[in-house]
Amino acid sequence: MIYFYFRDVTGKLVMSGACADFEIEHQKCGDAILEIGQADINTQYYGKNGLTYYPEKPGDIYVFDYEKEVWVFNVDDATKSALEKRDELLKNGPDRVSPMWWSSMTTEQQKSWVQYRQDLLDITSQPNFPNDIIWPTPPSEGA
C-alpha cells in the first residue's frame, strides 16, 4: 500500500489517499506534483517547510495565501456577503410594504423608514466597508 498526496505548484493539496498502483493514481491528477506520505487535504498544505498544518482560520471570509502561508481577508466574498444581507434587509423596507401601512404612518415615521433605507444603500460608503460594517437599525414597528 502506498500513501500519497498530490499538490499543485502553490502547495495546496489537491488529492490524497492510498493505493496499490502508483501509476493509476498519478493519471488522475494531471500536472499536480506527487509526494509519498500521508496527508489530509482538509487540514494540511505543502509549505516552505514541507507538509504543514494550516493555522487556525480566523473566519469564514478568509482564503489561504500559499505563498505567504497565512490566511487573508477575502474582500470579494465579504463584499458579496454584505450586499446580499443589505438586499435582504431592503426587501423589508418601506418601498416593499403595503401602501395602506405606509399611509397609516405619520410623516416622522415615514422619514425614519426612508432614512433607514438610505442608510442601507450607503453601507458601501462606510470607511471600513466591507471589513467592518455598521448596520443601521430599522425603525420600530410603525415608527
Q: How many other CB atoms sit within 10 Å of the CB of residue 116?
A: 20
Q: Which of 14-23, 57-66, 113-122 has the lowest mean pLDDT?
A: 14-23
Q: Name residues whose C-beta falls within 8 Å of residue 22's C-beta, 6 or more positions apart in sequence.
A: 2, 4, 34
pLDDT bin (cut points 50, 70, 90) of residue 28 is low
Question: For residue 27, what pLDDT is reported?
Answer: 63
Does residue 62 carry a pLDDT above 90? yes
Extract the C-alpha cell encoding 108: 416622522
Question: For residue 100, what pLDDT is reported?
Answer: 81
pLDDT bin (cut points 50, 70, 90) of residue 35 is confident
Is residue 136 within 8 A of residue 126, CB to CB? The reply is no
What pTM, to 2 d.p., does this model score? 0.63
Task: Determine the residue type at 104.
Answer: S
Does residue 104 carry a pLDDT above 90? no
Q: Is residue 127 reached through a cis peptide bond, with omega within 30 degrees of 0 on the bond before it?
A: no
- The Cα 35–Cα 95 span in angstroms is 59
Mean pLDDT of 69-83: 94
pLDDT bin (cut points 50, 70, 90) of residue 98 is confident
Phi, psi of 93 (to 5 degrees): -75, 180
Choose between 24 and 44: higher pLDDT. 44
Question: For residue 24, what pLDDT is reported?
Answer: 59
Question: For residue 40, what pLDDT is reported?
Answer: 87
Q: What is the pLDDT of residues 116-130, one digit of tens each?
A: 999 999 999 999 999
